[in-house]
Amino acid sequence: MRKLAIVVSVLVCTLAWPQQLAAQSQPQANAAEQQAFQREFDDVCSRTQGAMSLTRDELKDLVRRCDALAPKLAKLDQSQRKVYKRRLEQCRGLYAYVLDTRKDSDQ
Amino acid sequence: MVVQAQQLYVQAVPPEDQFGDVTLDGHVTPNNGPVVFNHWLHRAKFTCRVCHVDIGFAMGANRTGIDAKTNQEGYYCGACHDGKRQFGNVTAFASCQPDGVAKANFTCSRCHASSKTERKYTYKEFTAKLPKARYGIDWMAAENTGFIKPIDVIDGISIPKERIKNRAELSIHPQVQWFTGIHFSHELHSKWNSCELCHPEIFPTQKDAPANISMYQIANGRFCGACHVKVAFPVNGCNQCHAQGPMWVAGPGWVM
């Protein structure tokens, strides 16, 4: 009976261990994802003030990077998502706007 | 010449101490009334860019999504009002703290209007020494003469950016002959604003914008009116944009 109890305890711990590890690493993975998002966002959206000086290819690349960031908003927490959704819309909107004005002037 | 105010479409302006006030009443409870946000207090300390680009405040009712939770987590109002951030020798008071109900006798009432509202500043006292315009404060003169030094970067929130380049100046010609044209200065507007604040949300590309911008649209909060009806100097001061326009239009029924 005692042996059975020990075996069951070991079995339970073994089964629970990976889940515990996953639970501990989940916040770390989220924090890493958020940091990666922040870095990319800061890099992409730091160029808005010089947008008029960028080439069409540079602007297209920035729009593409903004579009790549958009799905990652879903991984942020609710409040962050609200803030960065707007900031990303403003940032992407400006690059697309400047790109559009270039097309207008080229026609 | 008699000009009917209806042709100009502008509305009467409120008392100066109420101009620019924004009421946030999306989360009113029996303990906490609506929040009345004073633009005159904040614009003396920060550029428009800090709040409406870096922190993410939208410029329209119910478009931002501020609530106690976002403030507690350090966003929107809580980005500065966290009880720790220092501006000079002033520590911004904490907003919407988790135990806010327990501290409702003071902390909540700093912002939420109630019978116990305690505002640290009044308009009259705060603006006593600031240069005055025809209506309200001459904010540009206030900065140029050193009365105010608006903060343009909030550590941990603002992205370091270069100064705007290609600050094109524009001449805009009115549709009517009895008003002179407008000289729009990107130089002046980019001092406190960012490109993305206006473009494309307020001023889209030519293909998305109407052929002509009218005073009717402006007076109803579109284009220039997004700012120059309720927060920046109001469009009632015609000659602030139209060099030879009337100095002031009081509102409906006004006759030149």
Mean pLDDT rounded to a whole number for chain A? 85
H or E, element range at B186: helix B186-192
H or E, element range at A27: helix A2-45
Cα–Cα distance, B190 to B166 (Å, whole number): 11
Most confident of B24-28, B32-36, B83-87: B83-87
CATH 3.90.10.10 is the classification of domain B21-144: yes
CB of B192 within 8 Å of a chain A CB? The answer is no
B41 pLDDT higher than 50: yes
In this predicted structure, what is the pLDDT of residue B116?
Answer: 55
CB of B166 within 8 Å of a chain A CB? The answer is yes
Q: Do you know the residue count of chain A?
A: 107
In this predicted structure, what is the pLDDT of residue B4?
Answer: 46
Q: Kindly determine whether residue B58 and residue A86, on different chains, have CB atoms separated by under 8 Å.
A: yes
Q: Say which range, A53-57, A75-79, B98-102, has the weakest mean pLDDT.
A: B98-102
Cα separation values, A22 from A14, A36, A37, B53, B222, Å? 13, 20, 22, 37, 51
Judging contacts by C-beta atoms under 8 Å, the chain B residues touching residue A100 are: 205, 207
Q: Kindly determine whether residue A104 and residue B207, on different chains, have CB atoms separated by under 8 Å.
A: yes
B169-172 vs B182-185, strand pairing mode: antiparallel
DSSP bridge partners of B4: B255
Question: Whole-model pTM?
Answer: 0.85
CB of B69 within 8 Å of a chain A CB? The answer is yes
B23 pLDDT higher than 70: yes
Question: What's the CATH superfamily of B5-12+161-240?
Answer: Cytochrome C3 (3.90.10.10)
In this predicted structure, what is the pLDDT of residue B256?
Answer: 45
Q: Say which range, A84-88, B24-28, B209-213, has the weakest mean pLDDT.
A: B209-213
**B150-183 burial by CB neighbour count: b if 16+ within 10 A, else e?**
bebebeebbbebeebeeeeeeeeebeeeebeebe
Judging contacts by C-beta atoms under 8 Å, the chain A residues touching residue B76 are: 83
In this predicted structure, what is the pLDDT of residue A20?
Answer: 58
H or E, element range at A64: helix A56-69
The band of B213, judged by pLDDT with boundaries at 50, 70 and 90, is confident
In this predicted structure, what is the pLDDT of residue A107?
Answer: 44
CB of A24 within 8 Å of a chain B CB? The answer is no
Please give, rounded to a whole number of angstroms, the shortest distance from the CA of A93 to a CA of chain B: 6
B157 pLDDT higher than 70: yes
The band of B118, judged by pLDDT with boundaries at 50, 70 and 90, is low
What's at B95, amino acid-wise? S
Of B251, B218, B228, B220, the closest CA to residue B12 belongs to B251
CB of A93 within 8 Å of a chain B CB? The answer is yes
| Over residues B195-212, mean pLDDT | 86
Please give, rounded to a whole number of angstroms, the shortest distance from the CA of A105 to a CA of chain B: 11
Concatenated DSSP letters of B9-46: -PPPP--GGGTTEEEE-TT--SS---EEEEHHHHTTTB
Of A21, A17, A26, A34, the closest CA to residue A77 belongs to A34
What is the ipTM for the molecules in this complex?
Answer: 0.88
Judging contacts by C-beta atoms under 8 Å, the chain B residues touching residue A48 are: 161, 194-196
Q: Which two tokens stand for residue B127?
A: 């603006």
Of B109, B13, B204, the closest CA to residue A100 belongs to B204
Tokens 């959206």 identify what position? A45
**Phi and psi, residue B122, nearest 5°:** -110, 155
B21-24 vs B169-172, strand pairing mode: unpaired
Cα–Cα distance, B136 to B14 (Å, whole number): 10
The band of B212, judged by pLDDT with boundaries at 50, 70 and 90, is confident
CB of B175 within 8 Å of a chain A CB? The answer is no
In this predicted structure, what is the pLDDT of residue B226?
Answer: 95
HSE, CB side, 13 Å, CA atoms: give it for residue B14: 9
In chain B, list all ranges with CATH 3.90.10.10.
5-12+161-240, 21-144
Please give, rounded to a whole number of angstroms, the shortest distance from the CA of A12 to a CA of chain B: 38
The band of B255, judged by pLDDT with boundaries at 50, 70 and 90, is very low
CB of B180 within 8 Å of a chain A CB? The answer is no
Concatenated DSSP letters of B71-120: HHTT-THHHH-SS--EETTEEPPP-S-TTTTTTTTTTGGGTB-STT---S
B144 pLDDT higher than 80: yes
In this predicted structure, what is the pLDDT of residue A12?
Answer: 66
A1 pLDDT higher than 70: yes
CB B152 within 8 A of CB B49: yes
B105 pLDDT higher than 50: no
Cα–Cα distance, B7 to B52 (Å, whole number): 32
**Phi and psi, residue B151, nearest 5°:** -75, 135
In this predicted structure, what is the pLDDT of residue B7?
Answer: 55
- Residue, of A47 and A9, whose pLDDT is higher: A47
CB of A20 within 8 Å of a chain B CB? The answer is no
